[in-house]
Amino acid sequence: MSRVPTLHERAAGVLLHVTSLPGTGPTGELGAEAYAFVDFLAAAGQRWWQVLPLHPPAAGDSPYTADSIMAGNPLLIDLTALVRDGWLTEAEAAPPAQRRADACDFPAARRFKTARLRRAHQRFRSEAGRRERHALARFCQAHAAWLGDYALFKALKERFRGKPWTEWPPAVRTRRERTLEALRETLAVPIERHCFVQWQFHQQWQALKRYAERQGVGLIGDVPIYPALDSADVWANQAVFHLDAQGRPKVVAGVPPDDYSATGQLWGNPVYRWDAMRRRGYRLWMQRLQAALEQLHVLRLDHFIGFVRYWEVSAKARDARGGRFRQGPGEAFFRAVEGTLGRLPFIAEDLGLVTPAVTALRERLAMPGMRVLQFGLGNSTGDSDNLPHRFPEASVVYTGTHDNETAQGWWRRVTGTRRRRGQGDQAAIVQAYLGADGQPVHWAMIRAVYQSVAHVAMVPAQDLLGLGNGARMNRPGVARGNWRWRLSPGALDRALAEDLFRLTAATGRAPRRTNRRKDA
Catalytically active residues, by annotation:
302, 349, 403
3-state secondary structure 296-323: CCEEEECCHHHHCEEEEEECCCCCCCCC
Alpha helix segments (H runs only) across 160-258: 170-173, 177-186, 188-214, 232-236
Contact 153, 166 (CB under 8 A): no
Contact 301, 223 (CB under 8 A): yes
Beta bridge partners of 222: 300
Q: How far are the Cα atoms of 37, 58, 372, 489 from residue 20, in angstroms, in the given order?
A: 11, 18, 22, 11
Give the whole-angstrom CA distance, residue 235 versus residue 469: 38
The H or E element spanning position 496 is helix 494-506
Give the whole-angstrom CA distance, residue 6 versus residue 15: 17
User: Closest by alpha carbon to 50, among 514, 369, 458, 475?
Assistant: 458
Q: How far are the Cα atoms of 362, 382, 434 from residue 389, in angstroms, in the given order?
A: 21, 9, 11
Give the whole-angstrom CA distance, residue 62 versus residue 480: 10
3-state secondary structure 4-47: CCCCCCCEEEEECCHHHCCCCCCCCCCCHHHHHHHHHHHHCCCC
CA angle 19, 24, 27 (to 5 degrees): 20
Give the whole-angstrom CA distance, residue 243 versus residue 258: 27
Contact 108, 272 (CB under 8 A): no
Give the whole-angstrom CA distance, residue 504 versus residue 303: 29
Contact 338, 331 (CB under 8 A): no
